[in-house]
Structure 1
Amino acid sequence: MSSQGGGGRTRVGRYELGRTLGEGTFAKVKFAKNVETGENVAIKILDKEKLLKHKMIDQLKREISTMKLIRHPNVIRMHEVMASKTKIYIVIELVTGGELFDKIVSHRRLKEDDARKYFQQLINAVDYCHSRGVYHRDLKPENLLLDANGTLKVSDFGLSALSQQVQKDGLLHTTCGTPNYVAPEVIINKGYDGAKADLWSCGVILFVLMAGYLPFEDSNLMSLYKKIYKADFTCPSWFSTSTKKLIKKILDPNPNTRITIAEVINNEWFKKGYQPPTFETEDINLDDVNSIFDESGDPTQLVVERREERPALMNAFELISTSQGLNLGTLFEKQTGSVKRETRFASRLPANEILSKIEAAAGPMGFNVQKRNNCKLKLQGESPGRKGQLAIATEVFEVTPTLHMVELRKSNGDTLEFHNFYHSISNGLKDVMWKPDGNIAEVDRILHHRSQ
């Protein structure tokens, strides 16, 4: 059982939930704090009804059991699993360094040595998971996170696409993933080797890291598929000869002749400065996984989620962690040179007035209000975008009774289109946004007050 903490917080078991970090069709990820240890984590919340409707429960149990057994420095760690009557809560490692996608956009492209370092860590993670029968199938820079030390962490390994089991022919048969990163054998839907398909995606990622753009790009989906199927791409002039050779071996459209991960690790370009990962194996307990999927359903094993209808408080750590590199000067400033799936600003206005002004500014831009409650607003774009209709989730957090943090987050659609939306709507919200006067003294006072 659980109880509600003070000040508008939601409590699940021993965890106090904070702001939403991301959301998708089946899940939402929230910042959380273990009130017993003080450890900050992320909690992935899945809707049981949706999982049952799509017959995913058995698959999810297999995936969670496998993921809990994975302990690798370049894969986000799963701590434990809980369940309420309606939801499943997956407690995972909190990573605060942002997406690798942001680094690519802000630097336009990475230097060869930097790209190689991230690629080595990616291959380490993918190879380890494949050795345990886990295939990602949606590898892309947006699913690659960085911790505070700049170490790469693969997120959602085994959970981003709930995998259909390998069939009698030894192949997977579910077409999934992001089109630009998907291997040609996945597109033709005649069955594919998950390990070979993942390696293709790694090759696309390496290209993007060093080029700053995709090797396969076309506004017409069928034209894009033809380019992928033929491996119709050209490496830019600044790629070294050894880089070009490796990428061409990985982006071989024939999976039977495509280089293997073992051969990649033995490649001279890859081996430069390579440090194999070091980590300890440990005994893992799967009792929590088994108990939440036990159909006899012991009610004492269920947690209860409770909340108040008011803005959630944002504690000092969360406030600091939203700034880049823990630099408080960037807390309430417009971020430049970086494209994110979330953007935030501060306001002195009451929560309801903030949401009303956002709603009024979004209307003329072709966005409708889909849902509004509990200091949250969901906006849906009317026109189709590059990756479907753009949808934006907005939430207001209370920093102090007179200061709110407002977060706009992309919940569907294209990241660059969201970035353009935010820049446009910012012009209509100038009377809503607040910034400290020239220095961060006032911010320091706010944080000091909140931490008391």
Structure 2
Amino acid sequence: MTNKSTLDDYTILEKIGSGLTAKVKVVRDSESGEVYAAKIYRSKSCEASSRNIIRTADNEIANLQQISHPNVIKLICSNKSGEYVKKSGERYSCAYIVMEFCPNGNFYETIRNIGRFNENISRFYFHQLINAIDAAHQRHIVHRDLKLENLLLDGDYNLKVTDFGFSASVFDKDGSRMLRTHLGTEGYMAPELYMNINYYGESVDVFAAGVILFIFRSVNPPFSRANMSDRIYEILVKNPKKFWGLYSRNKPQNYYSEEFKSLIMGMLHPNPERRFTIYDIKNHPWYNGPIASLEEVQSIFRRNA
């Protein structure tokens, strides 16, 4: 019996997240005392499921190793045959990755607690998000599961993109840039994913980033799913003026600037061939408008602490 569970040379401090394939825990390096986040992949009794989980871990590790950017979570180390020792003394083998720890939670929690951001703060975080996506795309890697829960806040309240479990090369197995595996999180998935057709990974990431930006300014998402069976999404596609009218209710006049609307419509375009690229986004007037300083951003968190 011990006071704390351990993961190899790390002491388990607390659990901070859990998903289908892994759980995330705060750990302390027993030698250096540094605190990190450990993503521990679940063991399955089914051999085929265990192999799939190991493949997911391998994929996340390989892709994170290729990306070095201040707004992408930093990979510290990994082990496919680590030993987890419970407080009871029970031991089991597991795969895990150790990453930098972001103590200020994720953007889902932040938006829920603080509410919508003004335009300048939205730009601050949107710049960080787009720069992180751009860094991944330049390494020919697409995330494919961008959402508020996968955007973390570090100790200084900078954005960090995490969870590259669904990430992939922009090139499919046949060498084309059209991907075939349909996955992601409903509400952030581009319409082509619901249509079960091949798709461009970069364009799917842009669509999800457009949803995220809309939530920054609105709190709520623009629609439930990007499918014509969703009434709000259908209005967005067929009658954008009515869409913006619906979301402008109970908000100050001209709350959504024309430049903001233009950017959102370009990023959420139903046709991926006409959807904005990262280049289009970075050259858009709204993107290049006034941006909050880090000190201004930090002040909103201090006020809401």
In 2: Cα distance, 1:222 partner to 1:185 partner: 11
Residues 51-106 of structure 1, C-alpha deviations (whole Å, 9 max, x = no match): 95234234532431221232211111110012237310110110011121222223
Aligned length: 272
Residues 203-260 of structure 1, C-alpha deviations (whole Å, 9 max, x = no match): 0111111112111137x98722882697366233411111111111111110001110
Q: TM-score, normalization: structure 2?
A: 0.80
| Corresponding residue number in structure 1 for 2:298 | none
In 1: Cα distance, 2:68 partner to 2:95 partner: 21
1:100 to 101, 104, 107: 107
In 2: Cα distance, 1:122 partner to 1:142 partner: 13
> Does 2:65 align with 1:68?
yes
Letter of the 1:23 partner, please give it. Answer: S
| Corresponding residue number in structure 2 for 1:231 | 237
In 1: Cα distance, 2:30 partner to 2:237 partner: 51
Query: Which has the larger displacement, 162-171 or 102-111?
Result: 162-171
What displacement does 1:129 show?
Answer: 0.8
> Does 2:141 align with 1:134?
yes
In 2: Cα distance, 1:68 partner to 1:187 partner: 31
Letter of the 2:187 partner, please give it. Answer: N
Q: For the Cα contact (< 8 Å) 1:67–1:78, is it kept in 2?
A: yes
| Corresponding residue number in structure 2 for 1:252 | 269
> Does 2:139 align with 1:123?
no
What displacement does 1:269 show?
Answer: 1.6
What displacement does 1:170 show?
Answer: 2.6
| Corresponding residue number in structure 2 for 1:263 | 280
In 2: Cα distance, 1:228 partner to 1:53 partner: 40
In 2: Cα distance, 1:270 partner to 1:257 partner: 19
What displacement does 1:50 show?
Answer: 6.6
> Does 2:189 align with 1:182?
yes
In 2: Cα distance, 1:186 partner to 1:76 partner: 26
User: 1:22-171 maps to which residues of 2 (within 5 A)?
Assistant: 22-49=17-44, 52-54=47-49, 55-56=51-52, 57-58=54-55, 60-82=57-79, 83-84=81-82, 86-156=93-163, 158-159=164-165, 161=166, 163=168, 166-168=172-174, 169-171=176-178
- Secondary structure, aligned partner of 1:227: helix
Q: Which runs of 5+ in 1 are unaligned?
A: 276-324, 328-336, 339-452
Q: For the Cα contact (< 8 Å) 1:28–1:45, is it kept in 2?
A: yes
Q: For the Cα contact (< 8 Å) 1:163–1:174, is it kept in 2?
A: no
The two structures, once aligned, show a CA RMSD in angstroms of 3.0
- 1:255–1:50: structure 2 CA closer, same or farther, 3 Å change rule? farther
Q: For the Cα contact (< 8 Å) 1:135–1:194, is it kept in 2?
A: yes
Residues 149-172 of structure 1, C-alpha deviations (whole Å, 9 max, x = no match): 11011111x21x265972424322
Letter of the 2:138 partner, please give it. Answer: S
Q: For the Cα contact (< 8 Å) 2:104–2:153, is it kept in 1?
A: yes
Q: Which has the larger radius of gyration?
A: 1
Q: In percent, how many aligned pairs have the same letter?
A: 33
- Secondary structure, aligned partner of 1:215: coil
Q: For the Cα contact (< 8 Å) 2:141–2:167, is it kept in 1?
A: no
- Secondary structure, aligned partner of 1:181: coil
- Secondary structure, aligned partner of 1:231: helix
Residues 391-439 of structure 1, C-alpha deviations (whole Å, 9 max, x = no match): xxxxxxxxxxxxxxxxxxxxxxxxxxxxxxxxxxxxxxxxxxxxxxxxx
Q: For the Cα contact (< 8 Å) 1:78–1:92, is it kept in 2?
A: yes
Letter of the 1:260 partner, please give it. Answer: T
Residues 345-373 of structure 1, C-alpha deviations (whole Å, 9 max, x = no match): xxxxxxxxxxxxxxxxxxxxxxxxxxxxx
In 2: Cα distance, 1:137 partner to 1:229 partner: 25
What displacement does 1:200 show?
Answer: 0.4
- Secondary structure, aligned partner of 1:166: coil
Q: For the Cα contact (< 8 Å) 1:78–1:93, is it kept in 2?
A: yes
